């Protein structure tokens, strides 16, 4: 039977040493790669963030994974993230492939049922976004947008009716 609570100092020493070095390597690589690597701008960015965390956890707990393999995995994930984001800025089809468009889910006091159903958003979630933004109702709200990262933006009426803030949002009126 394998030990349940303690199996000697070698495993603990390895975890401390490799874990510290892997953490330092990951922080360094993230600093070099820029802020976008850990952003939550879309589902792809979120996936990379989770994958980096999972890779770090695996190297901490699996003695079969070497530090060199872990750093290679970090470099691969960060490199792919950089390549996809670089490509999405330069090629619209790549952007459409990896990122969704923001979607109008409420406009001028009316919830947009078709858009909400398509985005799998409930009226309660839209009302919660309204409250979270400090509004008691739709009176001073031009629009509520489901952003590409899954968060809601509440656009006030403000000067010009808040129209500039919803330009380019799917479902926004063009007039």
Domain termination residue (choose one: 97, 125, 143):
97
Residue 85 belongs to a domain = yes
Residues 123 and 87 reside in one and the same domain = no
The CATH number for 136's domain is 3.30.240.20
The overall average pLDDT reported for the chain is: 86
Q: How many separate domains does the chain show?
A: 2
Lowest mean pLDDT among 4-13, 15-24, 131-140, 157-166: 157-166
Residues 89 and 107 reside in one and the same domain = no
Residue listed under structure tokens 């790549």: 94
**Which tops the pLDDT comparison, 4 or 129?**
129
Residues 83 and 138 reside in one and the same domain = no
Report DSSP letters for 4-57, one per residue. Answer: SS---HHHHHHHHHHHHHHHHHHHHHHHHH-GGGG--SSHHHHHHHHHHHHHHH
Q: Yes or no: say if 92 and 157 are a contact pair by the CB < 8 Å rule.
A: no
Say how far apart CA 75 and CA 159 lie, in whole Å.
46
Range of the domain at 145: 103-166
Residues 58 and 92 reside in one and the same domain = yes
Residue 81 belongs to a domain = yes
Q: Are strands 152-156 and 141-146 parallel, antiparallel or unpaired?
A: antiparallel
Taking only the tens place, the pLDDT of each residue in 101-116 is: 889 999 988 999 999 9
Residues 16 and 78 reside in one and the same domain = yes
Taking only the tens place, the pLDDT of each residue in 47-73 is: 888 999 999 999 998 989 999 999 999
Residue 171 belongs to a domain = no
**Residue 150: CB atoms within 10 Å:** 13
Taking only the tens place, the pLDDT of each residue in 74-94 is: 999 999 988 988 998 899 898
Residues 15 and 69 reside in one and the same domain = yes
Q: Yes or no: say if 95 and 88 are a contact pair by the CB < 8 Å rule.
A: yes
Residue listed under structure tokens 């009426």: 157
Residues 42 and 88 reside in one and the same domain = yes
Residue 175 belongs to a domain = no
Q: What pTM does this model have?
A: 0.71
Residue 173 belongs to a domain = no
Band (pLDDT 50/70/90 cuts) for residue 1 is confident
Residue 1 belongs to a domain = no
């Amino acid at each position: 039977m394998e030990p349940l609570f303690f199996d000697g100092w070698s495993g603990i020493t390895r975890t401390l040493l490799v874990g510290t070095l892997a953490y330092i390597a990951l922080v360094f690589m993230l600093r070099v790669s820029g802020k976008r690597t850990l952003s939550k701008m879309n589902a792809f960015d979120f996936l990379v963030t989770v994958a980096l965390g999972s890779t770090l956890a695996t190297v901490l707990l699996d003695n079969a994974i070497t530090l060199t393999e872990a750093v290679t995995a970090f470099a691969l994930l960060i490199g792919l993230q950089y390549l996809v984001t670089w490509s999405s800025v330069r090629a619209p089809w790549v952007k459409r492939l990896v990122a969704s468009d923001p979607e109008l889910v409420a406009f001028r006091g009316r919830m947009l049922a078709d858009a909400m159903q398509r985005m799998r958003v409930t009226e309660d979630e839209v009302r919660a976004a309204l409250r979270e933004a400090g509004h008691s109702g739709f009176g001073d709200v031009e629009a509520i947008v489901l952003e590409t990262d899954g968060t809601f933006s509440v656009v006030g009426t403000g000067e010009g009716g808040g129209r500039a803030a919803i330009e380019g949002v799917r479902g926004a009126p063009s007039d």
